[in-house]
Amino acid sequence: MSQRLGESFLQPETFNFSYSNTNRRNTYLNALLFQQGDQVIEELAKLRSLNEDDKTENAMLRSRIDEQCQLIMILKQRGDETMTQLKTSERIRESLEEFRAHAQTAIDMEVKKSQMLDQRFNELAENHQELIKFKDQYKIENERLRAENAQLKKDNEELFSAALQEKVVIITELEEELKSVKERCTNAETRAV
């Protein structure tokens, strides 16, 4: 493709240069002078000393030089654009690398935070399981103690109700005996009086 581009610039019909305008010609010559320096000055001195046939041939050569100069200018412009794009790409790459470094740091911090939260969650889950076991054991022990307490109450009622009934019988017997002793005392007093 670059070869076709160069060939198109080498064709005389690609550029239509008119040197009737002296300002334009002087500007062009100044550009040539600037780019090729002393060599161009020598070539111009030779061109001025040539006859008409040589001047025609020199005009054609100058046209070719003009085309080459235009091609060089275009290539230089493209090189400058490429350099600008390269610098821009380099700045973008540097900013992306900086962003990536910051993002990696943030990701590392989030991973550590997540790991710490996972560890704490696991500890809490273990503590919760232990609390559930303790609560279940407490419930079982509580039920056992309630059943034991109920049994003891029942045993106490059975034991004490039998003893209580015996004591009630004894108390009743003693009350009757006391009554009969009082009657005898009363009868003995009445007789003695």
Terminal C-alpha separation, the chain: 165
43 burial (CB, 10 Å; 0-12 / 13-18 / 19+) is middle
Q: pLDDT higher for 172 or 1?
A: 172
pLDDT at 3 over 50: no
pTM: 0.38
CB 101 within 8 A of CB 39: no
Domain edges within the chain: 2-106
Predicted confidence (pLDDT) per residue in 131-183, tens digit = 999 999 999 999 999 999 999 888 877 777 777 788 888 889 889 888 888 88
